[in-house]
Chains A and B, each alone.
Chain A
Amino acid sequence: MMLRNPFTKALWDARRAILGWGMGIGYVAVMYTAFYPSISKPAFASALQNYPEGLKKAFNIQDMTSPAGYLGSYVFGLLVPVLLAVFMIIFGSRAIAGDEEAGTLDLVLAHPVSRPRLLLSRLAGLATAVLFACAVVYLLLLAIAGPTKTSAVGAGHLAAMTVQLALFGMLFGALTLGVGAATGRRSAAVGAGVVVVVFGYFGNNLAPQVHGLGWVQRLSPFYWYLAGKPLVNGLDLAGCAVLLAVAVVLAAAGLVRFRRRDLAV
């Protein structure tokens, strides 16, 4: 029964969004992967050779001819993680701040539900949504690996990439949930999420090209998500640990403030 507790209720209420975003992100991943056979042709590869190095780095286009290089830059390098981040920003900012602004949080917390329990339930809802979207991406890409000539990546490395993607998405869920829980304002949560996506993306791709700004890259979630090249090297434990730790810290910081503050009317 989906009406049993705040966790299942959150999933039930968001069932269409979770399905829709999961399928949508999976669809985008499939579409981009389907282009691989035409891009991997020698003519295309030599055309890319002539692109300035800086431009290629800025757009995460480097090794385009191998399936791992292509998937890493086109599929997992930009659109899929950004879409997942946007999904988490919307879902995470709604989780507490959105309900509080709508006025529905009061009644639930007037029941025998503690604030930590509510926040953790909502966080678990976000995690479930992320896992669903990542599972869809993984299973679809695995299913089309043959026809799209990307099977050289292997199921294991694809799984590693998807795990890093899930943690990357979870970071944005924890960020927006945490900011929303701390402030009670949805706009603040969305703003924080958008700033981290935009600055994170450019920080990872452009900062290393500016002399002396290389360290900025390490502030970006994109760096910890992609730098270990999980499609080539398998799971990057350091990257996973950083993403997970930051997510935990953000959610915990949000909880500390959420427990203490007054709920808005």
Chain B
Amino acid sequence: MADLAIHTEQLTKMYGKRRGLAGLDLSVDTGEVYGFLGPNGAGKTTTIRILLDLIRPTSGRVELLGGDPRRDGVALRRRIGYLPGDFIVDGKQTVTELLTYLGNLRGGIPRERVTTLAGRLDLDLSAKIRSLSKGNRQKVGVVQAFMHQPELLILDEPTSGLDPLLQQTFLDMVREARTAGQTVFMSSHVMSEVQQTADRVGIVREGVLVAVERVEDLRERGVRRVEIHFEDPVTVEEFAGLPGVSDVTLTADVLRCRLDGRADPLVKAAAKHTVIGLLSEEPDLEELFVTYYRGAPDDAA
């Protein structure tokens, strides 16, 4: 199982009588970006805290980078970068002081590495933590997770509080991490946050993994809005009956429709005419995801 960065079997966690996890089977490949999606309270943070040995499972097996989080905790955590869902640190220290301390717990981090990351995220290293906004505090969290270039990044809702520009910077950092061979395991409750970077998404609901999908496959199946501009008028009938095509409207020589699944039949039909422009939106994977949230219909998509 050396090629799995994270592997759990029938992982359960009870908080007294309350369910945390109810038999989670999770496999994250080494080197991939894995999006761990689910609504609030589904068990995402519980899973992550078990991986870091902050809490202990009620039953089931966990393997992390080939080791046991409980037995090999210190050695494993040396190889992991962790961004908690709530990044809480003592506010009386400066960013540099905190990062120096956390770096020292890992045996020291080259200074340029920290200043480079801080520069990219536009983070003021001399500021007192207390004086930082929520978004700026989150940046500190991102820096401390990435600064030692760990084999495995475990990120719990990493982009919460970051503005759109910084979200892009963050996603670039995730892509670079993958390029460098690092594994990224990131949780979220919104698909849009992970669909841009993740290779695969796992969807967790009520403590079990209900689906694992390649993002590429999801994209292929996702519903997208398509707009085609023709040189000459066309008829609705030519397109309305095509597989996957629905909600067809025609205004003058512009055709608008919803496309569910592969684009091939629509493109071939359009190709019979002269096409001036073609606009296809990024598929809305959120919609697919919400169906899983509500109680996955098996293979409905």
Interface residues, chain A, with chain B CB atoms under 8 Å away = 1, 3-6, 9, 13, 102-104, 106-114, 260, 262-263, 265
Contact = CB atoms under 8 A, between A and B. Distances in A.
Interface of B: 45, 49, 52-56, 73-75, 77-78, 80, 82, 84, 86-90, 92-93, 97, 100-102, 104-106, 144
A262 B88 contact: no
Contacts, number: 66
A104 B89 CA distance: 5
Contact of B54 (A4, A9, A109): A109
A102 B104 CA distance: 22
A255 to B, nearest CB: 15
**Chain A contact surface mostly:** loop
A112 B77 contact: yes
Contact of B74 (A6, A106, A112): A112
Contacts of B84: 106-107, 110
Contact of A3 (B74, B87, B97): B97
Contacts of B93: 13
B88 A111 contact: no
Contact of B77 (A3, A9, A106, A111): A111
B87 A107 contact: yes
5 contacts: A9-B101, A109-B54, A110-B77, A112-B74, A265-B45
B77 A107 contact: no
A106 B52 CA distance: 9
B73 A114 contact: yes
A5 B100 CA distance: 10
B104 A5 contact: yes
B88 A104 contact: yes
Contact of A263 (B55, B90, B100, B102): B55
Contacts of A103: 86, 88
Given A3-B97, A262-B54, A262-B55, 10 more contacts: A3-B104, A9-B101, A104-B88, A106-B54, A106-B84, A107-B89, A112-B105, A114-B73, A263-B49, A263-B54
A144 B87 CA distance: 50
B77 A102 contact: no
A31 to B, nearest CB: 31
A102 B90 CA distance: 9
Contacts of B73: 114
Nearest to A108: B105
Contacts of B102: 107, 111
Contacts of A113: 74, 77, 105
Given A3-B104, A5-B104, A114-B73, A102 B54 contact: no
B204 to A, nearest CB: 18
Contact of A114 (B74, B82, B88): B74
Given A9-B101, A104-B88, A104-B89, A111 B106 contact: yes
B82 A110 contact: yes
Nearest to B75: A112
Nearest to A103: B88
Contacts of B78: 112
A117 B100 CA distance: 19
Nearest to A6: B105
A109 B54 CA distance: 7
Nearest to B97: A3
A263 B49 CA distance: 9
B140 to A, nearest CB: 11
Contacts of B56: 260, 262
A104 B92 CA distance: 12
A110 B153 CA distance: 12
Q: With a 10 A CB-CB cut-off, give which of B45, B92, B104, B144 has the most chain A CB atoms.
A: B104
